[in-house]
Chains A and B, each alone.
Chain A
Amino acid sequence: MAFNLLIVDDSNSMRTVVKKIVGLTGLEVNQILEADNGRRALDVMGGNWVDVVILDINMPEMNGLELLQRMSEEALMKNIPVVMMTTEASEAHMKTAFELGAKGFIRKPFVPEELRKMLLAVLGFDEKGTYGEHQRDSEGVDF
C-alpha cells in the first residue's frame, strides 16, 4: 500500500535528507509533501491526504508541539500518525509530545534503519513492509 508522507522541518537540507532516506526504506511512497513550519503543515494537511507526518520541534512561526496541539483539536487530523524527529529528545519533551498524540520519536541524527523501523511501526506494516494487523511494539512507539 503506497502512502503519502508529510515532512515538517524548517531545514531544507534536513527535508532533503529525510526524502532520500525514505527512498532507501523500500517502502512504497505515493507522495512526499513538505512544510517548513507548523502553520504551513496545517495548510498542506487541509488540502492533501496525509498518511503519516514526520515532525521537527524547533521551528519558527508554529513549532512541532504547537502543531500537535492543533492537530489534536481537528477531527480530520487527530488520527494522522506523527513521528517526532528532533534533537530535543529529553524525557520531558517526549512526554509532552506523546500526551499531544505523537506515535513515535526519532532523535537526530539517525540512520536509515531507525527511520524505516519507525515508519513501519506507526503505519502498521510488519518488518517485511506488508500492511496488516501488525502489533506495534517497537521502541518509542505508542501502543
Chain B
Amino acid sequence: MENIREILKESIFEVFERMFFIFLEPGGRVLVHDYETSIGFDGPRRGTLRILFTRPVARLMVRNMLGLENGAVTETHVEDCVKEAANMVCGNFLVNLDASKKFAMSLPAFSARPGQAPALSEGVVAFDFDCEAGKMGIILTLET
C-alpha cells in the first residue's frame, strides 16, 4: 500500500504542476470541500479516485489552465476543468502503477456540494494538500 501511496502522490504532483502550474504540499486534513470529482477504473485493480477541492483552488486551476481572469471563471469552467484533472491524475496513476496492463476508466463525475470527506478505512489511500489558493484532497479506494 505504501508503494501505491507514493505512485498516487507523484501522479497528482505531475498533473498539477504541468497542467495547472500549481505546486502542492502535504497539508492538514480538511473535512469540508466545495467540489468533488470522481472517476472509476477497472482492470487488474478496480477502484475509484475522488478529488475534493475548495472553491479558491478550483478557480485557480481554471485561471491557470485557460489563462482567464478571476471574474471570467464560471461554474461550467470549473466542472470541465476538475473533471479533466481527475481524468489525468487517474490515467497517470494507472500507467505508473503498471504500464503493461490495460485499465478501463469511466467518464469523470462532478458534484458541487459542500460535503464531509469520508472516514478512512482499509483499502483507502487519502492525501490532503495545501497550495497557494487553499486546500484540496484526494481519496483512492481500492476494491479487494
| Physical interaction between A and B | yes
Task: Bits for B98-109, please: 1 = Cβ < 8 Å to A, else 0.
Answer: 111111010100
Contact of B84 among A13, A20, A60, A93 (CB under 8 A): A13
Is A89 engaged at the interface, CB distance under 8 Å to the other chain?
A: yes
Interface of A is mostly: loop
Instruction: Please tell me the number of chain A residues within 8 Å of chain B, measured between CB atoms.
Output: 24
**Would A111 and B18 count as touching, CB distance under 8 A?**
yes
Among residues of A, the one whose C-beta sits closest to the C-beta of B76 is: A12
Q: Using Cβ atoms and an 8 Å threshold, which residues of chain A touch B100? A: 90-92
Among residues of A, the one whose C-beta sits closest to the C-beta of B100 is: A91
Contact of A109 among B19, B67, B101, B103 (CB under 8 A): B19
**Would B103 and A17 count as touching, CB distance under 8 A?**
no
Contact of A87 among B77, B90, B101, B102 (CB under 8 A): B90
**Would B87 and A90 count as touching, CB distance under 8 A?**
no
Whole-angstrom CA separation of A111 from B90 in the bound complex = 19
Q: Using Cβ atoms and an 8 Å threshold, which residues of chain A touch B95? A: 87-90, 107
Q: Using Cβ atoms and an 8 Å threshold, which residues of chain A touch B92? A: 87, 107
Given A92-B101, A111-B18, check contact A87 B91 (CB 8 Å). yes
Interface residues of A in 89-134 (CB under 8 A from B): 89-93, 107-111
**Would B103 and A11 count as touching, CB distance under 8 A?**
no
**Would A89 and B91 count as touching, CB distance under 8 A?**
yes
19 A-B pairs with CB atoms under 8 Å apart are A11-B84, A58-B107, A59-B107, A86-B91, A87-B87, A87-B88, A87-B92, A87-B105, A88-B94, A89-B91, A90-B100, A92-B100, A92-B101, A93-B102, A109-B14, A109-B15, A109-B18, A109-B88, A111-B18
